[in-house]
């Protein structure tokens, strides 16, 4: 597609692989929003890299025309960091779910915020492990009794991803809803344009294991006012509920971008890893 003159349409970014997501899954809205963003921003597919871990949402790179890497559970962020620093001319987007991104990937979340490499992380959060058939995840409500593993609820307070991002030093923090693909698409475009690490928590219902989330459409409400003041941002998080959406916080911070070394021969890079005999 890259050599053609005509403008690319959202559908041009979708691959021939048919999504295996359950009909009505919130992840479809994210796929549509991303396709729209890429078309609107006129991003050539060969300039896009989508990096994921494991889970229902992490299948997304296979459904798009772009470079993609389906990694291992919880490791989308270090993979995306490596791609972004070694290929700074690519638009890099890491794609995760709440189980994958906030549990085993939780450590990477903290350090991606403080490292501030220039890429975008979208997390499709349905507060459940969907792919493994519906266990409580880090963002599941403490009193959710929908899993046989936690029939009386987990009794664990849900993780607060936006508060964590703010505390860890992230410079772009937003929450959006998969049921509003146009608004989500515009927010993803802003995140891509942000110079540094940008985080969007996307409320993306799992209609199979959390059917009550189908009611979110009537419950989400735009409410955050973007600020550069962390105190104000915290106040908005404490005042708003878990279904309040919008851009919460945006500020420019120093980025970590080591000099790319891709021109060096592989042997020179190998030398760095010689145990006891490194030449650098
Ligand atoms: Fe989507 Fe849930 Fe089905 Fe996974 S199990 S595809 S998250 S609806
Ligand atoms: Mg999930």
130 alpha carbon – ligand 2 mean position (Å): 5
In ligand 1, which atom is closest to the CA atom of 27? 1
pLDDT in tens, 134-159: 999 999 999 999 999 999 999 999 99
Mean pLDDT, rounded, for 225-248: 97
Q: Which ligand is nearest to the CA of 129?
A: 2
Rg (C-alpha) for the chain, rounded Å, is 19
Name residues contacting ligand 1 (CB within 6 A): 21-22, 25, 27, 56, 126, 130-131, 206-209
Residue 186 CB contacts under 8 Å (≥ 6 apart), including other chains: 37
Q: Which ligand is nearest to the CA of 100?
A: 2
Confidence at residue 1, expressed as pLDDT on a 0 to 100 scale: 47
Q: Which phi and psi (to 5°) does residue 27 adopt?
A: -65, -25
264 alpha carbon – ligand 2 mean position (Å): 40
Confidence of residue 215 (pLDDT cuts 50, 70, 90): very high
Please check the confidence at residue 277 and state whether its pLDDT lies above 90: no
Provide the H-helix boundaries in the chain. Answer: 27-40, 76-86, 98-99, 106-115, 161-168, 181-193, 216-219, 230-239, 266-271
Confidence at residue 278, expressed as pLDDT on a 0 to 100 scale: 52
Confidence at residue 182, expressed as pLDDT on a 0 to 100 scale: 97
In ligand 1, which atom is closest to the CA atom of 24? 8
Please check the confidence at residue 264 and state whether its pLDDT lies above 70: no
Pairing between β-strand 244-250 and β-strand 172-177 as defined by DSSP bridges: antiparallel
pLDDT in tens, 44-103: 999 999 999 999 999 999 999 999 999 999 999 999 999 999 999 999 999 999 999 999
In ligand 1, which atom is closest to the CA atom of 210? 2
């Amino acid at each position: 597609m890259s050599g053609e003159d005509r403008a690319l349409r959202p559908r041009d970014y979708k691959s021939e692989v048919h999504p295996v997501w359950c009909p009505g899954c919130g992840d479809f809205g994210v796929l549509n929003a991303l396709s729209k963003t890429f078309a609107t921003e006129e991003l050539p597919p060969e300039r896009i890299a989508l990096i994921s871990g494991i889970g229902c949402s992490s299948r997304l790179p296979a459904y798009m025309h772009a470079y993609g890497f389906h990694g291992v559970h919880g490791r989308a962020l270090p993979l995306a960091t490596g791609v972004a620093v070694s290929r700074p001319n690519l638009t890099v987007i890491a794609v995760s779910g709440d189980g994958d991104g906030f549990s085993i990937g939780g450590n990477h979340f903290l350090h991606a915020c403080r490292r501030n490499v220039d890429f975008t992380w979208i997390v499709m959060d349905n507060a459940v492990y969907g792919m493994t058939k519906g266990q409580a995840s880090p963002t599941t409500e403490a009193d959710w009794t929908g899993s046989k593993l936690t029939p009386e609820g987990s009794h664990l307070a849900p993780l607060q991803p936006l508060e964590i991002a703010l505390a860890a030093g992230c410079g772009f923090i937003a929450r959006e809803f998969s049921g509003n693909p146009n608004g989500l698409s515009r927010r993803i475009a802003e995140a891509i344009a942000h110079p540094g690490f940008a985080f969007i928590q996307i409320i993306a219902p799992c209609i199979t294991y959390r059917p009550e989330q189908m009611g979110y459409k009537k419950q989400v409400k735009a409410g955050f006012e973007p600020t550069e003041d962390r105190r104000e941002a915290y106040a908005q998080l404490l005042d708003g509920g878990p279904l309040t959406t919008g851009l919460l916080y945006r500020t420019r911070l120093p980025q970590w971008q080591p000099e790319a070394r891709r021109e060096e021969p592989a042997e020179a890079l190998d030398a760095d890893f010689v145990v006891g005999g490194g030449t650098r």
